[in-house]
Amino acid sequence: MSYSLHYTDTSRETLSDLDRPEAVRILKKLEWLAENAEQLSHKRLNNPPAGLERLCRYRVGPYRVLYWIEHRECQVIVYDAIWRKGKYKELYR
């Protein structure tokens, strides 16, 4: 069963700011993730900030896509796509 994709305003803004090829690559991976969400093991973020405890991560090239998986509603909610080496620190501020 395919899950539906939903995007936060933050993730929409981030994806629109990326180069088109990178954004397309991430979107294709997210579609694949939604199609295979039931079969995958979702990696939780280590030591997440308060309020983001169930946040999962998925690597796409130099980016980490942060998302929530809602099995009851069959949804993948994309929180943000962050560059692996820089923006993680901003998440914990």
The tokens describing 57, both together, are 């991560």
The tokens describing 58, both together, are 């998925």
**CATH value at residue 9:** 3.30.2310.20
Total domains in the fold of the chain: 1
Nearest to 63 by CA among 35, 85, 89: 85
Please report the pLDDT score of residue 87 as a whole number: 65
Across 1-93, the runs of DSSP E, i.e. the strands, are 4-7, 43-44, 56-60, 63-70, 75-83
Q: Does pTM top 0.85 for this prediction?
A: yes
Mean pLDDT by 10 residues, the chain (93 residues): 93 95 96 94 87 91 94 95 75 59
DSSP assignment of 64-75, as one string? Answer: EEEEEEETTTTE
Please report the pLDDT score of residue 93 as a whole number: 54
Per the structure, the complete domain to which residue 60 belongs is given by 4-91
Please report the pLDDT score of residue 49 as a whole number: 82
| DSSP classification of residue 26 | H
